[in-house]
Each structure stands twice: as C-alpha cells, then as structure tokens.
Amino acid sequence: MKTPKIYAIMFMALAFVSINIYGQDKEATRPDREKWDQVEMQGTVTAINPETREVTLMGTDGGLVTLTASEAIERFDEIAVDDVLKFEFYTYLKAEFRAPTAEEVAEPLQMMAEGGKAPEGMDPAAVVGAVVKAVVTIEALNRPSMIATVKGPGGNFVSISMEDEQLMTELRIGQVLILTYAEAIAIALEKK
C-alpha cells in the first residue's frame, strides 16, 4: 500500500510551505544546504498481547522487537500474527547561511506537527510528522570528526554529522544560521 508514503511526502511538502511563510529578505553568505534521507523497514508480527497492547515483530535480519501500541490506535484488533508492518522514515535538514529576518528574531523557534490515519475499508495505516525551524548558533566544530554542534533558542544543543569538508573549514564558532529539520514516519499493515 503506497497511501502512507504519499501522505508522508504530502505532509512534508505542506509543512515546508507553511513554516516558510516569513519573508526571505536574505543575504546569504553561501548557498543553502539540504539533505533528505529515507529509511524503510519491515517486520512480521510474531506475537500479540491484547491486554498490554504489545506487538512483537521479527525484522528481515531475524531480530525481534516488541512495540506497545497506544490507545490512540483504534484498529489494534485488526493486527494478526504473520501480518507485516512496514515503516518508512523520512528526514530533512536544511541550513540557511544568512542573518535571521526580524520575524525569525521575534519567533526564533517554530514547530508544526500533523498526523493522519487510513479510513475504514483500507488496511490500517498512519502517518505522523513534525517540522522545526530555529535560529541557531554554532557552538563547537570538531573538524577531525566532521561534527558541528549548534545551540538552539531554548539553550539546547544538537550535534550534526557533516559531509562537506570544505564547508567545515568555512564555518565559524558563533556563526548564526537558520536550521529547518523535518521528519515523518509512515506505518502500514499488510494482511497475510
């Protein structure tokens, strides 16, 4: 079933449009950098505990994992042993090398989350995603390990693995930039 994947892609596209509503009067010091990533996983249901709402899955490598379904999952009773759960996880990271706009300075952290599920009559499926856009400051650069650490508006830190050695040499501690991070996960149940 491709429906959850389409919903995940649609969510991320709408989220970018919604969160980038501020004027982009930007004097960039270098071009924006973007990175997309997608991971697909699946597991076969090997056990179900309806009392605890736990589902045990066996991955394609033979490894086992037990997940607990929240009460928000209304169609839990439709899951059966030997069904296959497919997960598609998408991430997006964008760095804008420019001074923040007046609107971004006033609201340095913007977040949006959304979700949806398949209607009755379709195999159970759901998608959920979130987008965070923040004005951040570079706090540390570990050039040998290719890791940049930024500090967000709330004082929290995030370390980011870098791929571009040239960019690592050009970045400076104390430099302000705009980071947008998005993720979405689509889950679909395939009945045996």
Where along the chain do its domains lie?
3-190
Per the structure block, which two tokens stand in for 34?
């973007």
Q: In which element (H, E) is residue 9 found?
A: helix 3-19
Residue length of the chain: 192
- Strand 84-96, strand 33-49: pairing: antiparallel
Residue 30: the pLDDT is 83
Strand partners, 89: 39, 185
The tens place of each residue's pLDDT in the chain, 192 residues long, gives 445 555 555 555 555 544 454 444 556 678 899 999 998 999 999 999 999 999 999 999 999 999 898 888 888 898 999 999 998 989 999 999 999 999 999 999 999 988 888 888 888 888 889 999 999 999 999 999 999 999 999 999 999 999 999 999 999 999 999 999 999 988 888 887
Q: Is 14 helix (H, G, I), strand (E, B) or coil?
A: helix
Contact 93, 132 (CB under 8 A): no
User: Which residue in 109, 118, 137, 115 sits closest to 74, CA to CA?
Assistant: 118
